[in-house]
Structure 1
């Protein structure tokens, strides 16, 4: 993906591809650009690109990246990120990395407190906790978690079954906590 294209640049094109439906949304995308500063490369990755190759590129480097991204590992389960990289990038640019990390830590604490592993869940309390997490998770880019919390809140307040959604909530909680730890550790390095 050429980063600097007329009309639609590579970052915007990548975001559109990643937001599309179906298998094409996960096609490997490699940035090809002369912009290779670390913050520029980080913006490519945050937009959903898988790697980058600097211009003028070396054929061996390009082929290595293509090989790495197109080899299918049948033993590993691919787990998509829980955070929307575009929201993460925008929020970090707006509030700074240090404050973004504090916000992630607060979300992790809230997730752990509001949704501990337990089977005796009170419907009223769960609706309250889920409601609080809709905006907290959504504002930081954890849109899938926010959506599940919204569904659980609705089920709790309308009197319908919510118990079938609890395993999904637990899985998303664990994935989100893991991703928060990974983000904070990677950025600190």
Structure 2
């Protein structure tokens, strides 16, 4: 487990993604390509949510990008959290809870990606 993951009590990288789906993706793409794709997702998370945009329309766009990219790579919690964030932004209500959930899921996804990639 990487140093960041070890610093978060109770964090289990494998609980953050669908291991069976990642195994299937590895079979389709090969391990090197899958690791590249996970690196791209990690950079997208940083770009979109670290820190999150202040303006709700931009935050909705950022969340939308992460819905599909994280979902495609078996990070269902992050995808669901970003979907809820996107919808909250589009409805124009209070987004604090959804943003907090998305940022938390993003942090866990980044920790799991680092563990998977061995960085």
TM-score (norm 1): 0.55
The aligned counterpart of 1:123 is 56
Q: CA RMSD in A?
A: 1.7
| Structure number with higher strand proportion | 1
Aligned-residue offset at 1:159: 1.3
1:130-182 superposed Cα distances (whole Å, 9 cap, x missing partner): 01110100000000100010001111111122112222212111111111010
Larger Rg: 1
Q: Counterpart of 2:93 in 1: which secondary structure? A: coil
1:112 & 1:78 partners in 2: Cα distance? 20
How many equivalent pairs are there?
A: 110
1:95-146 superposed Cα distances (whole Å, 9 cap, x missing partner): 100000000000000000110135x621000000001110100000000100
Tell whether 2:47 aligns with 1:113.
Answer: yes
Provide structure 2 residue ranges, at least 5 long, that are not aligned to the other structure.
1-8
Aligned-residue offset at 1:78: 5.5
Provide structure 1 residue ranges, at least 5 long, that are not aligned to the other structure.
1-75
Task: Considering Cα pairs closer than 8 Å and 6+ residues apart, tell me whether 1 or 2 has the greater RCO.
Answer: 2
The aligned counterpart of 1:94 is 28
Kindly report which structure 2 residues correspond to 1:30-45, keeping only aligned pairs within 5 A, or say none: none
* Aligned equivalent of 1:144, options 71, 77, 94: 77
TM-score (norm 2): 0.85
Is the 8 Å Cα contact of residues 48 and 62 (structure 2) preserved in structure 1? yes
2:11 & 2:59 partners in 1: Cα distance? 30
| Structure number with higher helix proportion | 2
User: Runs in 1 of length 4+ with deviation above 3 angstroms?
Assistant: none
Kindly report which structure 2 residues correspond to 1:47-86, keeping only aligned pairs within 5 A, or say none: 77=10, 79=12, 81-86=15-20
